[in-house]
Structure 1
Amino acid sequence: MNILDQIIERKKIEVKKAKAEVSLTELMDSEFFRKKGISLKKSLVEKSGIIAEFKRQSPSKGIINDQSDVLEVVKNYEKFGASAVSILTDKQFFGGSLDDILRVRKSIEIPILRKDFMIDEYQFYEAKSFGADVILLIAANLSVAQVEDFTALSHQMGLEVLLEIHDEKELKHINKDVDFVGINNRNLKDFKVDLDHSINLKNQLPEGILKIAESGIYSVEDFKFLKEKGFDGFLMGEYFMKNENPGKIFEEFVINVII
C-alpha cells in the first residue's frame, strides 16, 4: 500500500467520525456557509499568482515547521502579495486542521484553498462551513464521475474547484466545469519531482483553462521557468515553511520574481 492509499484509508475513518459528531444541518448553519466566496480566478490575475501554503509537515519531509503561527504566516502572505492561501486540513499526515481555516478566515481578504483528500460530499459542506473558497480534487484518488459530481456540488455551494493531475492517464478527469487544473510536479506515490514532465502534461491541457503548477518549486529559477512555460498560478508551501519566518521569505521571493 503506497502513501496515497494509506491516506485515503485513514480519511474514510475520519469522515465517518466527523459525520457522527456534526450534522450537515449544523454545518449549513455556519455564517460562512451563507457568505459568497472570494474568487481565486480574479485574485490570480490581480496579484502575484502565488497560492502560498501553510503546511506543518508532510509524509515525505516529516516536520517542516511546527512552530510558526498560522494567522501570522497567512497575514504576511496576504500583505506581500499572495493571490490566495492554501491550508492543509489533514491532521494525521500533514498536522493540519479545519480550525486553521476558521482561525484566519475573518483576518484575511484573499481566497482560502482547503487542501485535503476529498472523498465524500460531507467534506465539501465542511469546507464551505469553515470559510474555504476553493477546494482541491485529486484525480489520483477519484473516478471521472466523482470529479464531475464533486465539481457540481462545489459550484452549488459557491466553491471554486482546483483539479490536480499527475500523469496523462488523469487527463480524462478534466471536465468543462473545473475552474483550474493543477499539475503536481511531485509524484504522490514516490515523491519524485520532474518539472519537464509537468511541462509536457501542461501542453496537453484544454485551451483556455487556468493552469497551476503545484509543489516542488524550490527556487526563483524554478518559478520563472514554469511561468515562462505558460503556467498561470503557482502553489508553493515548503519553500516558505521550512524557514523560521515564512512570511519574510515569501516577501523576499516575491521581490525576486517580479524583477
Structure 2
Amino acid sequence: MNILDKIIARKLEEITESKKLRPVSVLEKEPLFSRTTVSLASALKNASSPQIISEFKRKSPSKGIINGEVFPEIVTADYVKAGAAGLSVLTDHDFFGGSFDDFLKARHANPFVPMLRKDFIVDEYQLFEARSIGADVILLIAACLEPDKLNQLGKTARELGLEVLLEVHNADELEVSLGENIDMVGVNNRNLKTFETSVETSVVLSEQIPDSFVKISESGLKDAETILHLYKYGYKGFLIGETFMKTVNPGTALADLQNNLTQHSNLNPQFL
C-alpha cells in the first residue's frame, strides 16, 4: 500500500466518524455555510501576470514537519499583504498536520480572499464540510477518484456554489477527468506515489488542457525563472506551499518572490 492509498483509507474512516458527529443537517446551519463565495478562477483568468496561490501547510508525508511554529491567521494575512491571489489551507490532520481550526482562523483573517480547502475529497459529505468552514474552492484529485465519481463530486460542488480545482499528474488522468464541472486544472509536478517532482510535467501537459480551463501549476515551484517559464505555457496560477512554509516568515518569502518576478519580467518582457 503506497502513501496515497494509506491517506484515502484513513480519510474514509474519518468521514464515517464525522457523519455521525456532525451530519449534513448540522453543517448546513453553520454561519459560514450561506456565505457568498469568492471566485479564484476569475481572479486568475483576468490577471495579466503570474498569480501565486499561497499555501499554509505544517507538514507533509515526505518532508515531515515543515514548520510547526506558525499561526494560520498570521501567515495567511501576511500572504495576502504580499499579493497572494488566493490561499490554500490543509485540513488533513493525520498526514499534513492541518485542521478545520486552521482553515477557520485563516478564513476569518481574510474574509474576501478566495480560499481552497486542500484535502483528499472522496465523499460528497466533505463538500458540505467545505461549505461550512467558508471554503470557495475544493480540490478533486484524479488519482483518488474514478471518473464518474469525480464528475458527480464536481456537480455537487458546483450546486453548492464551490469552484472545482481538478488535480492531475499525467495525460491519462487528464483525459478521463476533464468535464463540464471543472473550473481549473492543476498539474501537480509531484508524483503522489513516489513524491518526486519535475516541472516538466506542467510543460508536457500544457497543450493538452483546453483554454476554457484556468491552468495552475503545483509543487516544485521555487523561483521566478521557473514560474515565468511556465507562464509562457499558459499557466496563470502557481500553488506554492513548502517553499514559503520552510522559512521563518512565509509572508516575507512570498514578497521576495513577487519582487523577483517583477524584476525578471522587467528584464525579460517577452515572458509576459
- Give the TM-score taking structure 1 as reference length: 0.97
* Alignment match, 1:148: 151
1:121 to 115, 124, 133: 124
Residues 177-227 of structure 1: CA distance to partner in whole angstroms, max 9, x if unpaired? 200000001100001112122211121112321110011112222212111
Counterpart code for 2:262:
I
Query: Quick check: 1:48–1:254 contact (8 Å CA) kept in 2?
Result: no
How many residues align? The count is 259
* CA separation of 1:207 and 1:104: change in aligned 2, threshold 3 A: closer
Task: Report if the CA contact (8 A) 1:154-1:160 is conserved.
Answer: yes
Task: Report the AA paired with residue 86 of structure 1.
Answer: S
What's the offset of the Cα at 1:101?
A: 1.3
Counterpart position of 2:230: 226
Q: CA deviation at 1:123?
A: 0.5
The root-mean-square deviation of aligned C-alpha atoms, in Å, is 1.2
Is the Cα contact below 8 Å between 1:138 and 1:165 reproduced in 2? yes
Partner residue of 2:245?
Answer: 241
For residues 119-171 of structure 1, the C-alpha deviation after alignment (integer angstroms, 9 at most, x for no partner) is 11110000000010000000001011111111111111110000000011102
CA distance in 1, matches of 2:212, 2:114: 22
- Asked if the contact 1:48/1:83 (under 8 Å) is kept, the reply is no
Residue 60 of structure 1, aligned match among 47, 59, 62: 62
**Distance in 1 (alpha carbons) for counterparts of 2:129 and 2:150:** 18
Equivalent residue, structure 1, for 2:3: 3
Residue 32 of structure 1: how far off its partner (Å): 1.2
**Residues 122 and 253 (structure 1), Cα distance of their counterparts in 2 relative to 1, 3 Å cut:** same
Q: What is the identity, as a one-letter code, of the residue corresponding to 2:13?
A: I
Structure 1: which 5+ residue stretches go unaligned? none
Q: Which runs of 5+ in 2 are unaligned?
A: 264-272
| AA matched with 1:33 | F
Q: For structure 1, which segment, 96-105 or 159-168, has the greater mean C-alpha deviation from structure 2 after superposition?
A: 96-105
- Secondary structure at 1:198 match in 2: helix
